[in-house]
Chains A and B, each alone.
Chain A
Amino acid sequence: MSSRFLLPAGLLGVATLASLAMIFPGATASASGHADANQVSITPSHVTTRACGTVSVKGVTNAVPNAGNPFLSNSKTCLNGHLISYGNTAITYSNPPQSFISAGRLLFAQTCSSCHGNDANGVGPDGQATIGPNLQGVGAATVDFWVSTGRMPATDVKAVEAERKPSRLTPVQALELAAWVNSLDPSVPAVPNPHLRGADQSVGQDLFSLNCAACHTIEGSGDALAFGTNAPSLQDRQVTAQQVAEAVRTGPANMPRFSGNLSDAQVADITAYVTEKLQHPQNPGGVALGGVGPVAEGFVALLIGVGGLALICFWIGERSPKDDDDDEHTEGGDDPDPAKAQEYAQSGQEHA
C-alpha cells in the first residue's frame, strides 16, 4: 500500500477505538475475575448480568455505594449466573449455597406452604389469597431473619405481628428455606455477616439513638407500640449480630427498612453497639432495675426506701396508746387547769 494512507488510516483507527471505548465502558472495579459487568443492563428493579443472572434490587438502594446493593459494593462474587456474595470490609452478604435449594423446597412444602402457597407466592391451590404474603423477591436475608428468630412458622396467625420465640428450625434449615425462596426470584439483600472487629461503638451509639431508640428504647429493652405492634427487646443475647443486620436492611413487619441512609460500615457499627454494649451492660452503679427507667426507680425508692425507713420508725416508736375508758381526756379549746398543776406539785412530794 502507499504510505500516504498510513496516517489517515491510523487516525481513523484511533477514532474508531476511542468511540468504541466511549460507547462500551470498561469493567467495573471488581476484585473477582469472573465478573462480566460490561453487560450490566439496569432496569428499575432488576439487574441482569451473564455472571450473576437476574437479581432483583428492589429492596436496596441504587444510589449510595456500600449500602447493600451488590452492584455498588466494593466486592462481588458471581458464578454461573448466580450471585454468591458481595459486600465490603464491614459486612459480607452471601446467598446460601445452591445445594440447599432442593432441601429447602421440601422443607417449605412441609412447613410454610399452608400459609404462603406452594410456590411461596401468596396464592393457595384454589387460587385464593393465602393468609401469608407473597415471598417471591424478598431475598435470602428476609427469610433467614424470620425463620431464625422463630417468628416463622407463626403459631398465632391472627396476631397483629408474629412474635419472637425459640426457633423450631435449625439455622441450616433456615438457610435452606432461604435458598429455595430466593431461587424463585433471586433478590437482595443476601444474608449479611457483619465484621465487628473494626466497628466503632461510638458511631453505633450515635446512630442507634437517632434511628433505633425511638422504637426499641435507648437501652434496647423494647416496648409495645401502636395497635398491638411491638418493638422487641435487643438486650436479649439470643439476638445475634446477623439478625440485627438482617433486620436493619430488610425492615421486617413494621420496622422501617434502612437502605441508602445507612452504609454497611454504619450498620456494622450499630450492630456492634447492640451486641457488645446493649447486650452486655456493665451497670457500674449496681442492680439495673430492668432498665425501664424512673418508674422502677420510683417504686424502689418508695417501697424499699420510704417503706423500709417507715418500718424502722415502727420499731423505734410506739404503737397507739390504749384509749382511756373514763372520759378524763378533754376535747375543745380548754385552757390548762391550774388545779391539775397543783396535783402534780403535791404528788411530786410523795416520790421517794
Chain B
Amino acid sequence: MSNTAATTKRNKKQALGPYGRVGQAVGELDDRLGVAKGGRVFLDKIFPDHWSFMLGEISLYSFVVLMATGVFLSLYFIPSTQQVIYHGSYKPLDGQWVSEAYKSTVSISFDVRGGLLIRQMHHWAADIFTGSIIVHMARIFFTGAFRKPRELNWIIGTTMLILAILEGFIGYSLPDDLISGTGLRIGYSIAESIPFVGSYLVTFLWGGQFPGTGIIIPRFFIIHVLIIPLVLIGLLSAHLGLLVRQKHTQFKGEGRTENNVVGSPMFPTFMAKTTGFLFMVTAATAILGAFTQINPIWQFGSYDASKISYAVQPDWYMGWLDGALRIMPSWELAFWGHTVPLEVFLPAVIFPGIVFQIAIMWPLIERRFTGDIAMHNLLDRPRDRPKRTAFGVAFFAMLFTLFAASSTDVLANFFHISLNVVLWFFRFAFFIVPIISGLVAYQLCREMQGVHDIGQRKRALIVHFSPEGEYSTVPSATRPDDERHELDPEPVPVRIDIEPLSNGGIRQPESSPTGARQVNR
C-alpha cells in the first residue's frame, strides 16, 4: 500500500473519532434527540440480582409469546357462530353442524402447518402467564415491596392480573367447543344473577336469551385481540416505567442501604441475562406446546347447548370460582315478584369482588394496621413480618382449597368416596384450612426469627473423646463454598481501561472529571 493511501485511511479513521461509527451514531442521535446523557444513565441502571426478582420477567416474556403466537392465530381464526357442515381432516366430525369459529380452530390444528404447535404454545403461555403473575405477586406481597412509594405499581399489577384472567377466559371460549361453550353458558347465568341489571346485561351482551344472536363470539374476539391487549400494554408500560423511575427494591445485606441499589448494570450484564431468559421462556412454551397436548377441541365437538360432558372444568385460574360455586349451599331469595339467586351471585360475583378488592387495596389495609407511612426500598424477609405472612398464607390456602373443591368429582372417583361426603368436606375445609394454615405460618415465622443462622449451611461438629472419658465437640473447618465472598459494591465506571477497537489503535488521551487518570497506551 502506498503511503498516501495509508495516511488517507488513517485520517479517515481519525476523523471518525476514538469511538468510530458508534460514536458517530451517538452524535447524530444526540443532535436530534438529546439522548446521550439519559442513555448512559439508562445503561448504568442497576438491577439487583436476587433470583426472585426475575419472576415478573416470566410474566413479561410469556406475554410477549402470547402476542406473537396470538398474531399468528388471528390470521386464521374466523370469529363467527355461523353454522356450517364440517368436511375436513378430522373424520369423526364429518357431516356435523359446527360453528365457523370451531371449524377454523380445528383447521388451524390440522390443516395449517405448525398451527397446532402455535395454538398449543399460545394456550400454555396463557396458563404460565397467569401463574407467573400470581407467583410474582406473592413475592411482592411476602417481601413488602408494595409499600410506599410502590403502592400504585401494586394496584396496576393487580389490575393486570384481573385482566389476564379475563383475557384467558375469553380466549379459550373463542373456539366455541363443547367445554368452553358450557363455560360461557355458566358465565351468562352468573351475569344474569346480578340484581336489577343482570338480565339487561346479558341480553345486551349476547343479544337476547341464551345463546342470543351469536354475536358474542365476534365481540369476544375483538375484546381478546384488541381491547384487553391494548389496556394490558398500557398498564405494562406504566408498570415498567414506575419500576425504572422508582428503581427496584432489594434485600438487606452488606453494602445495601435504603438509598442505593446493588446489582448488575443494564448493559451488558442484565440485558444479556434477560434476553437469554426471554429465549428460555419461549423455549419452555415451545417444548410444552410440542410434547404435551392441551385443549384438544376436536375431541369435544362444536358447542351444542343441549349437550354436556361430565367432569367439565374451566382453566386453572378460574378453578377457584368453580369450586366456590360447587360448595355454596342452594340459597335463593324470592320475594315480591323478584329473585336474587344467592347461590350464584354470592360465590361468583360478590366473593371474587371481595377477593380482588382486598388484593388491590392491600397497601392501604396494611398501612391502616401498621401505621407505617415511611418509604421502603429494602425488603422484608417473610419471617420478619409474621402477621402479614400468615395472612398471605391463609389467603392462598383458601384459594387453593377452592381450587381443590372444583375437582370434587375427580377426587371422589380417585379415592372411592361418595361425592356428597367430599362436598361436605370442602364446605368445612373452606373455613378451617385457611385458619390452620395461617396459624401454622405465624408460628413458623416466629420460630424462624429465633434462629439466627436459619437457612445457612451448618458446620459439621467433630466429636472428640478425651482420654478422661469426656466428649467434646469441635466445629469442622469451613468449606470454601460456605463463605460466599462478595466484593464491595462499587459504582459503574465511566470508562474502562481498554482501547477503543474502532480506530486501529490510535488513542485520544482523555481527562476524567476528577482529572485523576491519564491513560497510557
Partners in one complex: yes
Binding site for B on A (CB under 8 A): 200-206, 209-210, 213-219, 221-228, 230-231, 273, 277, 281, 283-289, 292-295, 297-302, 304-306, 308-310, 312-324, 328-337, 340, 344-345, 347-349, 351
Chain B hits for A223, CB < 8 A: 310-311, 409-410, 413
Say yes or no for B315: interface residue by CB 8 A criterion: yes
Q: How many A-B residue pairs have CB under 8 A?
A: 253
Which residue of the partner chain B has the closest CB to A215?
Answer: B310
Chain B hits for A203, CB < 8 A: 95
Asked if residues A323 and B310 are in contact (CB atoms below 8 Å), the reply is no
Asked if residues A227 and B420 are in contact (CB atoms below 8 Å), the reply is yes
Asked if residues A293 and B310 are in contact (CB atoms below 8 Å), the reply is no
CB < 8 Å: which of A218, A309, A332, A347 contacts B281?
A309
Asked if residues B484 and A322 are in contact (CB atoms below 8 Å), the reply is yes
Q: Which B residues from 233 to 261 make CB contacts under 8 A with A?
A: 251-254, 256-260
Asked if residues B309 and A217 are in contact (CB atoms below 8 Å), the reply is yes
Say yes or no for B280: interface residue by CB 8 A criterion: yes
Which residue of the partner chain A has the closest CB to B93?
Answer: A202
Which residue of the partner chain B has the closest CB to A287?
Answer: B292
Say yes or no for B284: interface residue by CB 8 A criterion: yes
Give Cα distance in the complex from A204 to B93, angstroms: 10
Give Cα distance in the complex from A104 to B376, angstroms: 85
Asked if residues A320 and B299 are in contact (CB atoms below 8 Å), the reply is no
Looking at the assembled complex, report how far the CB atom of A299 sits from the nearest CB atom of chain B, in whole angstroms. Answer: 8
A-B CB proximity, top 4 nearest: A298-B316, A321-B253, A317-B51, A285-B293
Give Cα distance in the complex from A319 to B96, angstroms: 58
Chain A hits for B288, CB < 8 A: 300-301, 304-305
Asked if residues A317 and B49 are in contact (CB atoms below 8 Å), the reply is yes
Chain A hits for B132, CB < 8 A: 306, 309
CB < 8 Å: which of B260, B313, B375 contacts A332?
B375
Which residue of the partner chain A has the closest CB to B180?
Answer: A294
Q: Interface size bucket, B side?
A: 35 or more
Say yes or no for B53: interface residue by CB 8 A criterion: yes
7 A-B pairs with C-beta separation under 8 A: A213-B308, A225-B409, A295-B313, A305-B131, A317-B50, A323-B253, A348-B516
Asked if residues A221 and B374 are in contact (CB atoms below 8 Å), the reply is no
Asked if residues A287 and B51 are in contact (CB atoms below 8 Å), the reply is no
A224 touching B257 in the complex, CB below 8 Å, given contacts A294-B313, A295-B319: no
Chain B hits for A283, CB < 8 A: 293, 296
Looking at the assembled complex, report how far the CB atom of A222 sits from the nearest CB atom of chain B, in whole angstroms. Answer: 8
> Scoring B residues 479 to 494 as 1 if CB is less than 8 Å from chain A, else 0, what string do you get?
0000010100011000
Which residue of the partner chain B has the closest CB to A315?
Answer: B51
Which residue of the partner chain B has the closest CB to A219?
Answer: B299
Q: Which B residues from 390 to 437 make CB contacts under 8 A with A?
A: 406-407, 409-410, 412-413, 416, 418-420
Chain A hits for B406, CB < 8 A: 295
CB < 8 Å: which of A217, A289, A347, A349 contacts B310?
A217
